[in-house]
Amino acid sequence: MQIHEKIAGLRAALKTARRVALVPTMGNLHEGHIALMTQARVHGDSVVASIFVNRLQFRPGEDFEKYPRTFAADCEKLSTAGVDHLFAPTEAEMYPQPQSYYIDPSPEQANILDGEFRPGHFRGMATVVMKLFQIVQPQTALFGKKDYQQLMVIRNLVQELNLPIEIVPGDTVRAADGLALSSRNGYLSAVEKAEAPRLYRLLERIAAALRGGSRDFAGLEQATIAELQSHGWIPDYIAVRNRTDLQLPAFHDSGLVVLAAAQLGSTRLIDNLEV
């Protein structure tokens, strides 16, 4: 695997590539990321992973500083997974001057759900993803469904800006107890780790109720919030939404997704389940 810190070096290395598949990450890689790398091979003769902890998508007081940086271990995992190129730029390479042009998703996409609790997050995320697309110029880019709203924002970005990039989703990878793999799971204490799978179990319970014909979206959401609170969680939202635009579903809509974000101790976990 070739490791590139510089944009020029990566571009030179990709000059003769025919089909490039990109998997953007912020590092601290787990099996979910590795599954995306394996999936990427189907779409590209050159698989490019990127590792860049993007300051722009963190708000002051979030975990930018303490976000786990495990570069040596990540390189080993990527190399074992057969990744061809790792793009791992410094901040100075990505943002040589303060960023003054942004990709600003519409408020309907960016100010709901996670965007309501993390103002500016999707603007910072979409801006760095656009920069990565410009730098790598992939034919395909892969993103995990665990960040469901992120995936929707990126799909719309590609569509509205006519980028010739196919966006391929990767399924959420879970531990045996159901907990969605996340770089932030490492923040959990042993006790919190045992509690954390409750979030997924409750999503499954809502999904089962919806499949069984319930359309009491608000009732299901509120009961789940109350149950999480009774176990020490601080939920941001539990929301039944349409899969395509993440807006409130009408009574007869199908193609739903249940999304959740909740704080357990000092760790904010997100998860979702398609119905």
Catalytically active residues are: 33
CA distance 272 to 149: 10
The single-letter code of the amino acid at 14 is: L
Among 54, 140, 156, 172, binds ligand PAF (CB under 6 A): 54
At closest approach, how far in Å is the CB of 191 from ligand PAF? 27
Closest separation in Å from C-beta 105 to ligand PAF: 13
Q: Under a CB-based contact definition with an 8 Å cutoff, are residues 24 and 109 in contact?
A: no
Q: What is the 3-state secondary structure (H, E, C) of 90-157?
A: CHHHHCCCCCCCCCCCCHHHHCCCHHHHCCCHHHHHHHHHHHHHHHHCCCEEEEECCCHHHHHHHHHH
Nearer to ligand PAF (CB atom), residue 129 or residue 273: 129
CA dihedral 211, 215, 216, 221 (to 10 degrees): 50
Distance CA 137, CA 155 (A): 16
Give min distance, CB of 52 to ligand PAF, in A.
6
Within 145-164, the residues that bind ligand PAF by CB under 6 A are 147, 150
Q: How far is the CB of 144 from ligand PAF (least distance, A)?
A: 7
Nearest-CB residue for ligand PAF: 24
Residues 6-35 vs ligand PAF: string with x where CB under 6 A? ------------------xxx---------
Cβ 124 vs Cβ 150: under 8 Å? no
Closest to ligand PAF by CB, 147 vs 227, is 147
> Nearest distance from residue 161's CB to ligand PAF, in Å?
16
Closest distance of CB 154 from ligand PAF, Å: 8
Out of 129, 135, 181, 260, the only residue in the binding site for ligand PAF (CB under 6 A) is 129
Asked if 128 interacts with ligand PAF (CB under 6 A), we say yes
For ligand PAF, the closer of residues 60 and 213 by Cβ is: 60
Q: Which of residues 87-126 bind ligand PAF (CB under 6 A)?
A: 125
Alpha helices in the chain (DSSP H): 7-13, 31-43, 71-80, 91-94, 107-110, 114-117, 121-136, 148-160, 190-195, 198-211, 217-230
- Our CB check for ligand PAF shows the closer of 129 and 239 to be 129
Q: Which residues contact 7 (CB under 8 A, 6 or more apart)?
A: 89, 93, 135
The site for ligand PAF, by CB under 6 A, has a size of 10
State how beta strands 20-25 and 85-87 pair. unpaired
Write out the binding residues for ligand PAF, residues 187-246 only, by CB under 6 A.
none
Nearer to ligand PAF, 49 or 228 (CB): 49
Burial of 237 (0-12, 13-18, 19+ CB in 10 A): middle
Q: Identify which of residues 11 and 30 has a Cβ nearer to ligand PAF in the complex.
A: 30
DSSP 8-state code for residue 181: P
Q: Can you give the binding site for ligand PAF, defined by CB under 6 A? A: 24-26, 54, 57, 125, 128-129, 147, 150
